[in-house]
Amino acid sequence: MPSKRKVQVLVLSDVHLGTFGCHAKELLTYLKSIKPEKVVLNGDIIDMWQFKKWYWPESHMKVLHHLLKWAMKGVPVIYLPGNHDEVLRRFSNVQFGSLRIQDKLILELDGHKTWIFHGDVFDASIQYSKWIAKLGGQGYDMLILINRALNWLSEKTGNGRISLSKQVKNSVKQAVKFVADFETTAAELAIDQGYQTVICGHIHQPANRWVENKAGRVRYLNSGDWIENLTALEYNNGEWELYTHTLDSKWSESELEEELEEVLMPMDKAMLLGFLGR
């Protein structure tokens, strides 16, 4: 058995377990490859907005079980609820063994203060919240499914993967502006409060960069998601790195069938296969 890679601090967000778009199998592969000393689950791990009683694949349960197994083994796991799992905020400051739920987290890492929170608080008075709701709904799930099927066809013809959802978001000026405003707001608040690093989730936009203004500078980090980007943040030896998981190589036809079988009712499956000309 290959040795697991040691990680001092792992930050995950926006996994959205319980939705069609979640890459749970890939996430489980990643989790099994590392040995973290501390884990921060920075919101939207379980998607309670879009949760469907009839859709909870085994791979989603395995991810949840793996995270809980870390906690049972004594690894500190801090869960910072987001907007899609905000029901857990009623349990803020509750601790179950090594698992703790709280609204935000401040870590002292090698003499530097790191501020971690999900980021949906910025949606309170911003019109973009409506866009997020639409993007996280059934239309977004179907777009992800169609995207996966199209990528299967694209790879069969020797072409690379594409991301329809990214293209849609990048073409909407309101969405692009919100991302920029979100990052600027988080960074400036962190500078004002004297933090050296600020970590968010929520916008599904992985980032690792420095932000400066007249009052100072801060390292802005975003852990991305496990819907489109398949990213996480890792801290080792005084440095934060943005980990990006590589999708498995070309799918077989049976794997595509399995993917569709998991997420579509028979009629929907027939319609999508008809759309693909199969």
Tell me the pLDDT tens digit for each residue of 111-120.
999 999 999 8
Residue 39: CA count within 13 A, CB half-sphere: 27
For residue 171, what are its two tokens?
């073409």
141-154: b (≥16 Cβ within 10 Å) or e: bbbbbebbbebbee
What angle do helix axes 24-32 and 58-72 make, rounded to 10 degrees?
30
Of the candidates 152, 148, 144, 151, the residue with the CA atom closest to the CA atom of residue 168: 144
pLDDT band at 144 (very low <50, low <70, confident <90, very high): low
Q: Which residue has the higher pLDDT, 183 or 127?
A: 183
Residues 6+ away with beta carbon under 8 Å from 66: 28, 31, 32
84 confidence band (pLDDT: 50, 70, 90): confident
Q: Percent of the chain having pLDDT more than 90? A: 55
The H or E element that residue 27 is part of is helix 24-32
Average pLDDT over residues 246-252: 55
Q: How far apart (Å, rounded) are the C-alpha atoms in residues 182 and 178? A: 6
Taking 50 as the threshold, does the pLDDT of residue 52 lie above it? Answer: yes
Domain range summary for the chain, segments of one domain joined by +: 5-275
Is this prediction's pTM over 0.75? yes
Domain topology for 5-275: Purple Acid Phosphatase; chain A, domain 2 (3.60.21)
Average of per-residue pLDDT across 126-151: 54
